[in-house]
Every structure is written in C-alpha cells, then in structure tokens.
Copies of this chain bind each other. A is one copy, B any other.
Amino acid sequence: MPEKPLTEEPPAVSALSESGLLARIFPRLDIGGAHASATLLGPGDDAALVAAPDGRTLISIDTQVQDQDFRLQWNNGYRTTGFDVGWKAAAQNLSDINAMGGKATSLVVSLTLPPETPVSWVEDLADGLTAGIRELGATDCSVAGGDLGRGTEISVTVAVLGTLDGGNPVLRSGAAPGDILALAGTVGRAAAGLALLESAIPMNSLSTLQRALVETQCRPRPPLAAGPRAREAGASAMMDISDGLVRDAGRLAAASGVVLDLDPLELKRQAESLRPASDALTADPQVWVLGGGEDHGLLATFPAGIQLPSGFTAIGSVQAPGTQTGPGVTIAGRVAGARGWDHFAD
C-alpha cells in the first residue's frame, strides 16, 4: 500500500457530489442560528420561507464574476480569497437594502464554480458571507438557501431580502431643490485600494494605511445602520454609491430632476485620506473620490432644517436645474466630469 504523500493538492469541487459540497458549506452559514430570526424555513426544500412582518419585502440581486468584479490574482501578487468574495457579495447586497432605508432579512446564493475550484476556497467563501453579515451588523439576516452549478468562471450571485418595518422606502426620485446633500461612509477608498492591487507594490511592502485601502476594496464596510436612520429622520432621496460618486449622484439627480452640487472642500477632505495611495502612485486622489465605487457609502438628501442623522456629513446641496442644463451634478457650480464604471461602454 503506498504511503500517503506528505503534501496533497487541495481537493477540488469536482471530487465532491453536489450534496457533498453542500455538506461542506452549510455548517459555515449559521443557518437557523441566533442570527436567523427572519428565516422561517431554510435550505432543504425547493424554496425557503422568510418573514416579511409588514406584508412587503425588499428584494435586490447582484452578481460578481471572476476577472470582471475581482481577479483571482492581482498585479501586485495578492490572491483574492474566497473569504473576500463572500464578504463582498454580502456587503454589496446588504448595501442595496440599506440604500432603501431597510434592514436585510435573508440572502440566497447561487454559486457557479469551475470543477477545479479548491473546496477550501468555497468553504472560505461561506465563511466570508457569514462574517460579512455578522460584522456589518445585519443581525436578523442569514443565508436561507442557494443553488450550485458548474461553469468555466467563478460567478457568485446573491439575492437579498429586507424589511422596511412598516415605513416607506427612500427612493432616488425624492430630492427637491433646497435639500441638503449628505454622505454616510466613505468614497474613493475602494478605488484607491484597487489602484494599489493593480500596482507593482507587493502586499508585504504596503503600510498599514495602504493595507486599509486594499481592505476597503476587498471587504467593503457599508454603513448599515445609517440607511434605516436616514429613512426615520425623513431623508427625501437615497442610494448607495457603487459605481462612483459622480455617476451615482447623476442617477439620483436624473431621477429627481435636480442638480446636485458638491462642495469642493468636502471632496478634498475625502481625498485627504487617500494620500497613502495617491502619494505612492503619484495619482490624483480626486479621480478616486469622484469616479470610484465600491465603498458602498450612502448618498442621501434631507430637507433643510432636519438634523442630519448620526453618520451623515453634508457634502453639498440640491438645486433646481438651469433652463439650459437640466438635471446633473456640479462641483461648486461647474459641471462634474468624472464618471464611474459602466459594464458595457466607457
């Protein structure tokens, strides 16, 4: 009988049956645990059952695809972990519920995996999902179900449910001239982190502050308490910033038929925290502030006279569109030019 080799290739998902792989994933998902109060029926049947206490449910869906939304290995040598991808899948979906003023109740996950994907990578993904849900504070939320399939590239789709606790959703279309424009969370940090990952500076040469920027790219921390707080405080419009400040603000401006005017001093303040990356890369941090997405901060408008809820900072004002120009985004009155990411054109 041959001796067992000292080192083995990590087992790939192709070595397991579907149920065998699920058996490796489920124990990592805290299904039906203390954090699962809204999940009435979890995996094991053809659909899950989730509480919708006020008779309505928010729903959103988001996909991350390998080499589009993340690279398995970046230019600077960093390898994206399953944990990163799981965390980010949780974060960007939880952020969509936050942006409506809601609290997440449940996630369902569809994984497409190449057969050679290491089982340990998939286990890490489950751990990252669970950690993201918990550490970001989505205490009522758990993974209620999912789907597994095969493909040539890794693809992770999450659909998220949420509750408004009887309140009205905060839409993109409610901003009115005279409102205050405010931000919760950060902008530009994930883009600065991305620039570091795409640079030639190896991970182990990065400073603590630079690593923190990379961390925002790989494991964003949307401010989940801020969305419901903004709704309760009377926010007139809200969305999360996932494709870049100017691009997303442009969407809110178009939906509301207003001009959003950004305060250059506030933009400069945001850029200041990006200096550890911009100095090292001789880059302009304003480009990250204006065009970078993926921090998943919240952009919201509040009627003047409302005290901004904790976590929000005023970053500009809402104005009526000029007769010539129409809705859009300006910086101190001048048309803002930066734009974020578009999946199919530039």
Q: Which residues of A contact B (CB under 8 A)?
A: 13-18, 20-21, 40-41, 44-63, 65, 67-69, 95-97, 99-100, 102, 106, 108-110, 112, 115, 144-153, 155, 157, 159-162, 164, 169, 171-173, 239-240, 255, 342-345
Q: Which 3 A-B pairs have the closest CB atoms?
A: A52-B52, A159-B159, A46-B99
Whether the pair B56, A51 counts as a contact (CB closer than 8 A) is yes
Contact A148 to B48, CB < 8 A, known contacts A55-B55, A59-B108, A153-B153: no
In the complex, the count of this chain's copies comes to 2
Q: Nearest chain-B residue to A227 (Cβ)?
A: B46
Chain B nearest CB from A108 CB (Å) reads 4
Q: Nearest chain-B residue to A106 (Cβ)?
A: B59
| A169, B42: Cα distance in complex, Å | 12
Chain B residue contacts of A50, Cβ below 8 A:
56-59
| A151, B70: Cα distance in complex, Å | 12
Chain B residue contacts of A157, Cβ below 8 A:
61, 63, 110, 147, 157
Whether the pair A149, B47 counts as a contact (CB closer than 8 A) is no
Chain B residue contacts of A147, Cβ below 8 A:
61-63, 157
Q: Nearest chain-B residue to A248 (Cβ)?
A: B46
Chain B residue contacts of A45, Cβ below 8 A:
99-100, 169, 171-172, 239
Q: Nearest chain-B residue to A345 (Cβ)?
A: B17
Chain B nearest CB from A254 CB (Å) reads 10
Contact A149 to B69, CB < 8 A, known contacts A240-B46, A344-B21: yes
Chain B residue contacts of A47, Cβ below 8 A:
58-60, 96-97, 99-100, 102, 160, 162, 169
Whether the pair B46, A51 counts as a contact (CB closer than 8 A) is no
Whether the pair B68, A57 counts as a contact (CB closer than 8 A) is no
Selected A-B contacts with CB under 8 Å, 8 pairs: A18-B344, A18-B345, A20-B345, A21-B344, A47-B58, A47-B59, A55-B55, A152-B152
